[in-house]
Amino acid sequence: MHYRLRRSVATMTLATVFGVWLLRCLKTFVFAVLRDDHDATVPDPPSGDLARRRVMQVSDSIDVARSPGDLYAMVSDPTRMGEWSPENRGARILDPAADGEAFVGMRFQGRNLRNGARWVTLCTVTAADPAERFAFRVHAIGVKKPRLQAPNASWEYRFDPLPDGGTRITEEWTDDRTRWPRPAVEVFDRIVTRGTTFPEFQRRNIATTLAALKKAAES
């Protein structure tokens, strides 16, 4: 009896801690939007996180009848991502290079649309190896401006040459919300994706993006 009581109290305490933390996250986001606070950050999760392991990375590949250099040129231009992404609506490069090429450290602001909701992100390029690899991380988000500073996700594209002259392109998404406890992530994800987790949601998005990219590259 005492054991069941202690377990019940422990469960309620843990749930309360997570609930308070979620409210802090919501409060931070709301006030960041209202005050245009560029330094706002997501509160740290409660200590002693007992969350189970969750899927932090998903990827998919497709073979395209174009050279690695051609595909790299398409993907490394963030302003074109809206041509094949089901969610992205283009981007604005904040500090373009004189030659127009992507470079490590280049920042861009992306526009997105999902289920009628619009938002913007601030991204920084982390890899720009022509014909080989392009990657960036998403580290700020907001409704009209990317006001909320917090690790969000990393995206990577790899271009492997095929014997016939084509390319196997791989798109990979990594969840950078490593400090979020699993219960908080599951609640948040199912709200913003309308019933699924981000790994499941992004797996479908990646497949759609790669198919559209292949069609655009080969047409």
Interior CA angle at 125 toward 121 and 127, to 5°?
150
Token readout for 77 is 């231009």
In a 10 Å sphere around its CB, with 0-12 CB exposed, 13-18 middle and 19+ buried, how is residue 169 labelled? buried
pLDDT at 15: 53
To the nearest 10 degrees (0 to 180), the angle between helices 198-218 and 182-192 is: 50
Give me the amino acid identity at 21.
W
| 4 φ/ψ sector (left φ>0, alpha ψ -120 to 50, else beta) | alpha
Is pTM beyond 0.85 here?
Answer: no
Count the neighbouring beta carbons within 10 Å of the beta carbon of residue 191. 9
**Alpha-carbon gap, residue 51 to 55, rounded angstroms:** 12
pLDDT at 33: 41
pLDDT at 31: 44
pLDDT 10s per residue in the chain (219 long)? 554 544 554 455 455 545 555 555 555 544 444 444 444 454 444 444 444 578 899 999 999 999 999 999 999 999 999 999 999 999 999 999 999 999 999 999 999 998 788 999 999 999 999 999 999 999 999 988 998 898 999 999 999 999 999 999 999 999 999 888 777 787 888 887 888 888 999 999 999 999 999 999 999
pLDDT at 49: 43
**Alpha-carbon gap, residue 206 to 70, rounded angstroms:** 19
**Alpha-carbon gap, residue 139 to 178, rounded angstroms:** 13
